[in-house]
Structure formats: structure tokens, C-alpha cells
Structure 1
């Protein structure tokens, strides 16, 4: 039997790295995990043989509704699960202009799945209030292979403190907020290093101007290699259903300074440092007052938290798949 994971994200981002880790970790001779690449907007459902479950990591959008509907029709006797990687309460506040149209889309899509998986408790609470009955909702926070991050030595305070910012140069990530705040700060013992690329690159470089404390390194294929060059990590996201970079930073023993957007609030509960006011002025005030020695003092807590998160990720998926075995039998009998 095979568990099929359908994904329409072609980038080397968190979703694909999570899927690679999941397939490599829990797949076995009796149950394979296959990743199937889907073209966004395609109309027909793929033909999947011996499917124990079909798990969607697809974008819930109007272009994909014919595909999602076709999946439900073709696999009526197979558990159909959706993992919501994109939407969150802060996403709606920041990005959605027509709330009624958005809520109609999401409600219609989720109704076609047997189970919806939230990637953080914060996102799950929002989904449970708005879209999904509790009995159809599971919460499994993502994880990737963290071995390279655990292998990094703790940062050592010597010379200037390097604050790293990793990820897509997209409005979601709030890097523009961070740069404006950093430029306004008076700290000459800090440097701000960016690792990534994206549509906002020229805008971000323009905001940085000629500030010699801000460095752009471009895209780095291996996040642990970038993390090794940083003393701490900043996450000024406007919305963030989970925030995988925070987990990687904790595994690397790097303090995380973050907004409280969506899933980042959960990382703050687990030891990340709350910036408070996620505005340029808020970041400037935070940086001006930040005690570096205190901030770099407790890497052990973050690493322990990351290990527990890895265990919960695997336990969560194993429990869900075990529950689906019984559900699959019931659906097949009903069919």
C-alpha cells in the first residue's frame, strides 16, 4: 500500500524538505510514501494505484478546485487529507480583500477532505473556529532533517554579532520591516545578513541603502551552512502558519527573535524572543536595548525543544496514518 503526497510547489522550500524527511523516515516495505508533483490548475486527478491514503499539500485556490473535486470523486473510498501550509489568521488580515469569497473557497475545499491537518496549534485554533469541525482536524507541526543543525557548535561572542534572516524575499517575511528598524538602530556591534532571493530583492537592497552593517549573500542551497555564519536569527513575519526557520535555528543553538504572528507565537512559548512591536520603530527599540550576552546564553533549551518537535512530528504522522487504516476499511466497506 502507498501513501501518496500531492504537491504543487516546485521550489526547494519547507514543504518539499518536510516531505522528503517524512518519506525517508516512516516509509517501509509494507507502506511506501510517494511524492507526486502536480501542475497547479490541472483539471484531472492523477491515477494512483494501491492508495492507502491521498494527502494533499496543494494550494487551496480557485484554480485547483476542479482538481480537488476530481480527487474526491476518483478516491471516494480512500481517505483524503489536506495539510494547510499557507493560510492563517494573520494571512487573512494582511492579504485577503474579499473575505466572503475567500471563506467560500476554503470552506468548499475543506468539505471535500476527510481530515484537515494544521501545522501549528495557533493555526489549528483558527481553522477550528472558522472552517473545520474538531473531529476532522489534526495538528502536526512540520519538521525536516535537523542533523546538520544539531551538528553546529554554539555561537561564540567575539567581535560583531551577526543577525541572520533566511527565506524568500517576499512581503510575508517582513524583511522590509527588519531592515528599516535595523537602519534606525544605533547598534554598531550588530550586522544583519540576508540569505535568500525573491521578488522583493531590489526593494530590500534599496531600503538597506549604503548601510555597511547590512549584507546580502544571495540564495544558499543548504540552510545549515547559512545558519553556521549567524549568531542569532530574526523572523519579522507578517504572517506565518508555522515558521520552520525558527525550529532549525533552535536546533542550531541560535536564539530566535520573532514577531508573534500565528505559529511564531508557539515558538515564543518554546523559548524564542518576542520582538513585541513588529514595526520598524519596534525593531529599532528592541535592537538598541538588546543584551547580546544574555541572548546567547541558553542554546541547550532550544536544541532540546527541537528534538522534542522532531519526535512529535513523527509520532503525529504515525498516529494519523494508523487511524486512517481503520477509516480506509470503513470507506471501502461502504463503497
Structure 2
């Protein structure tokens, strides 16, 4: 395990609160979330994170952290997570514990079983039940486990209103509060030399895991059907879960792999549009990341995604079928996309700023800790 030094700072006149965050997997959105909420250090919180050592690079930030070995998902990794959490629980004696994603519920259940009633927050980052639509038996089991597990927390923190609506519809236990995600401002200067292809090319961007949830397989097939030689699809990401639907690029599709989080704004700023064809999504951080750069976003009609976009002003959304995605790609016009850019920036400023999220999250944590 490794421990970095604790940073100082905080709001004058407020007692600093110790917050211990636990996450079994920090790949993707959870890693971005950790980077963002670490800024609560400047608002009177001592933020510590327990996460897999294999995912430190995915977080890409200077955090106070403890790591545990998790080469792959399984019982050994789960035991290592529980041991690391117990050790930091004793050493830090936090005022509030925050459990991120479904596997962390095991630690919450163990803490409660040991008689520890300290304030706890559960943040699912998307209900696990959503990933089992085609496996009814597993879906039923997961529904019971996370539905009862959420009731062990004092508050379940939802990242979108959609996430709260799903919990209520499924009869999950507990109290649910929404703090919608925000993102920090864009980089002041972005590169301008990433894309080639001439002035008449429409550059589309996909950012995320090439796994079933994110729907890249559907987008790639739709791109082939659209048959537009003036389109380029730039793909930033790689397969992580290996669930059998990732596919390589084709004509007009350029695979770039992962890029550092600090350089993503270069890609967003240069793209004419971002496409988010997810099969399910509790929020979708790539949406406000694109909007802050003035880039329109076109999404599927799944999960929280439609609620993040103003159709015709900041992008649009379509049914999640290959035919509908192909029709969308055929309809894109570069001048119309560029005309949306001011509204996209305005949407970020009015709704998706990180400062708003941090203010609401700080208030929730202080209320739970009372």
C-alpha cells in the first residue's frame, strides 16, 4: 500500500471533515469523478481514496490514496479491497465513508455487520442491474443485492435524475439524492494539428471504452452503412472489459487508443461533433466535456443521455439502432454543427460547471456527517 502526504487548505471557519472513498474499479467515469471531487480539499475536506493499484494511471491525478492489488476482478481482488479499506478505516477514522460502484457495497455491508454506524454514502455510478438486461436470472440477483445494499447507506448519491428514477422504479431501499456531475473548464490552449483530410471533412469523435455498454460496435456498423466519404470517425479509447463486442476500425475510422485526460480537450475542441451511442448510461461525463469545448453531442436515447442535450441547439439523440445511427450520420451538415457551438458552451456554463457540483456535494457530505 502507498500513502501520499495530505494536502492542506480549506474554508476558514469550518471544521475539516475526513472523507474516505472506496472504489473497486476506477477505470473510466469513476476515475474522472475522483479527479473532480478531489477539489473538495479546498472546501474543508480531507479526501482519501482507496483504489486498485492497477487503476492509478486511469485516475491521472495527485490524490491522497491507498492502493490494493487487483490484477483482475475476482475473490482475491475483493479480499484485498476489503483489507485495504479496513486498514484505512482504523487509521484515518473518517467522518464519512463514500462507497463507489456496486462491488464497494461488500465493504459497506462488512462495516455495518461489524457494528460501525458512522455516516456512509453510496454512489452507484450507474446501477449494475442495467448491464444485465439480457440475463434475467443475474439481473434478478443483482437487483436484490444492490437494492438492499443501497439501504445500508445514509444516503445514496445519484449522478442524474434518471439514476434516481431507476432506483425508485425498482423499489431500492434508502434515501436518494441527486448531485448532477460537472466538469472543470476546458484547457486554455488546444492543439490544432490532430486531424487531417482537408477543409470539407466532418470530423466525428467517440471517446470511451470499446465495450458493449458504450455501443461502439453499433456506431462502427452505422458508419459503414452511411457511406459518406467526407466523414471521419476518430476513436479515443480501447476495450477494457473484453465482453466480445469491441471491433477494430474500418474505412474512415481512425483508432487512436487512450490519450491522457489532460489532452482530451485537444480532441473535443477540434471535432465537429461527439457521438455517444451507449446502451445504458447513468450520466455520461463525455457529454459536458464536449460541451465545454463548444462541441455538439449526438447520443442514443438510453439512460440519462437524452436529458443532457437540447435537440437542435446542442446536438440531438436518436433511437439506439444501427439504422437510426446511420440516418443521423447521413444527415450531418458541417455548417449546422458549427452554428451550434455557442449554445454548447452556454450549456456548459449554465449547467455543467464543476463548481456547482462541488458546492452541492460539499453540502450533502456535511449534512450526512452531522
The TM-score, its normalising length taken from structure 1, stands at 0.83
Counterparts of 1:66 and 1:172, CA distance in 2? 24
Pair 1:9 & 2:25 matched = yes
Pair 1:121 & 2:161 matched = yes
The TM-score, its normalising length taken from structure 2, stands at 0.76
Counterparts of 1:89 and 1:66, CA distance in 2? 16
Q: Is the 8 A contact 1:164 1:234 kept in 2?
A: yes
Where structure 1 has 5 or more consecutive residues not aligned to the other structure, the ranges are: 327-335
Q: Is the 8 A contact 1:169 1:196 kept in 2?
A: yes
Q: Which residue of 2 is the match for residue 316 of structure 1?
A: 360
Q: Which residue of 1 is the match for residue 78 of structure 2?
A: 41
Q: Which residue of 2 is the match for residue 82 of structure 1?
A: 122
Q: Which residue, out of 176, 189, 193, partners 2:217?
A: 176
The two structures, once aligned, show a CA RMSD in angstroms of 2.9
What number of residue pairs does the alignment pair up? Answer: 315
With over 3 angstroms needed to count, the CA separation of the structure-2 counterparts of 1:294 and 1:186, relative to structure 1, is: same
Shift of 1:243: 0.4
Q: Which residue of 2 is the match for residue 214 of structure 1?
A: 253
Kindly provide the CA deviation profile for residues 73-113 of structure 1, in whole angstroms up to 9, marking residues without a partner as x.
Answer: 45733111110113277534356543321211112211211
In the TM superposition, structure 1's runs of 4+ consecutive aligned residues that sit over 6 Å from their partners are: none
Shift of 1:245: 0.4
Q: Is the 8 A contact 2:191 2:266 kept in 1?
A: no
Q: Is the 8 A contact 1:116 1:132 kept in 2?
A: no
Counterparts of 1:293 and 1:95, CA distance in 2? 44
Q: Is the 8 A contact 2:219 2:322 kept in 1?
A: yes
Q: Is the 8 A contact 1:194 1:216 kept in 2?
A: yes
Kindly provide the CA deviation profile for residues 2-43 of structure 1, in whole angstroms up to 9, marking residues without a partner as x.
Answer: 1111122243x321222122122x224853111122654124
Q: Is the 8 A contact 1:96 1:102 kept in 2?
A: no
Pair 1:32 & 2:46 matched = yes
More displaced 10-residue stretch of structure 1: 124-133 or 247-256? 124-133
With over 3 angstroms needed to count, the CA separation of the structure-2 counterparts of 1:151 and 1:143, relative to structure 1, is: farther
Where structure 2 has 5 or more consecutive residues not aligned to the other structure, the ranges are: 1-16, 53-67, 69-76
